[in-house]
Structure 1
Amino acid sequence: MNTREGRVGVKGVGVDVVDLGAFAASIAEPGTRFANVFSATERRQARDAAERRGARGDDAQHLGARWAAKEAFIKAWSEALYGQSPPIAPEDVRWPEISVVSDAWGRPAIRLGGRIAEAVRASLGEVQINLSLSHEGDTATAFCVLS
């Protein structure tokens, strides 16, 4: 039996791990590839989370977890389309359209916008995006399930 045919409810799963030391060094570099991957809301929420834990100006841990979430989402979407051509070329992904937001209690969620939202709907229909983030020591991890 093909394991994909046996799934009920789950369309795709993705996980990503980020080395926070390397990530912090990357986002500090002028002209970094991470300069335009986060929305204003993501940057504000990461800054606020860092301030709450007494690390003002050190939002790399929270941005690193958000980057892991974006990557985990892309992997889950890709996995859901196994055997099909990707609806968007990797170089055409507009990263801020995959926005990781937190509710008043700090629980994360992914909000899609723009072309990414349209492409996901066109390729998978309506999906529920389930997300879990964790950071410990020098590592951030994200786990994403599309159902």
Structure 2
Amino acid sequence: MPEITGLGIDLVYIPEFIAQMNEPGTQLARAFHPRELRLATARAAATGREPAYHLAGRWAAKEAFIKAWSSEFFGEPPRLADPVDWAQVWVESDAWNRPRLVLEGELAAGVGNVTTHVSISHDGEYATAVVSLERKTHG
């Protein structure tokens, strides 16, 4: 029987996020999977907004995932790798721009067998994401 075991939400102020992405020497771009970067570049060309605008929602999804995963272990010590390899959790989109969360590498191994659900939204200067984790339980 599937059970929701974690829920996370995050809100990103897009102008501040863009400023961080445009800082000389920033490491923030390393947080994104190459597919996310390519998609943001393509969307920027189509919309006239800069790529960082399109990455803000994906950053919110990454943060929401970490919160959802952490909430599974309430009352226990954190189980996150330090530092987190943010590029191992990324958002892909289908042909209709519906998002799906993908987990890779050590992060995926640490999380285990989980189904993720993600919703991303942009409104004005904000991007938000909600992530839930679903695990199969016996019974």
Q: Report the TM-score, using the length of structure 1 for normalisation.
A: 0.85
In structure 2, give the amino acid aligned to 1:39: H
Match of residue 47, structure 1, among 26, 41, 45: 41
Between Structure 1 and Structure 2, the one with more strand by share is 2
| Higher RCO, Cα 8 Å, sep 6+ | 2
**TM-score w.r.t. structure 2 length?**
0.90
What is the aligned-residue RMSD (CA, Å)?
1.3
Residue 110 of structure 2 is aligned with which of 105, 114, 119?
A: 119
| Contact 1:61–1:135 under 8 Å retained in 2 | no
- Once the two structures are superposed, residues 18-67 of structure 1 have per-residue CA deviations (whole angstroms, 9 ceiling, x without a partner) of 000000011000111303101110001111222232x16x1122101000
Q: Which residue type is aligned with residue 50 of structure 1? A: A
1:1-147 matched pairs, under 5 angstroms:
9-53=3-47, 55=48, 58-89=50-81, 91-121=82-112, 126-147=113-134
C-alpha contact (below 8 Å) 1:130/1:145 kept by paired residues: yes
Please give the alpha-carbon distance, in whole angstroms, between the structure 2 residues aligned to 1:130 and 1:79: 15
The number of equivalent residue pairs is: 133
Q: Which amino acid aligns with 2:41?
A: R
Where in structure 2 are there 5+ consecutive unaligned residues?
A: 135-139
Q: In the aligned structure 1, how far is the partner of 2:90 from the partner of 2:25? A: 21
Matches of 2:72 and 2:54, distance apart in 1:
27
- Partner residue, 2:137: none
Question: Which residue identity does 2:122 align to in structure 1?
Answer: H
- Please, which moves more after superposition, 31-40 or 72-81? 31-40
Rounded Cα–Cα distance in structure 1 between residues aligned with 2:85 and 2:92: 16
Distance 1:108 1:19 in 2: 20
Deviation at 1:74, TM superposition (A): 0.2
Q: What amino acid sits opposite 1:63 in the alignment?
A: L
Q: Is the 8 A contact 2:70 2:79 kept in 1?
A: no
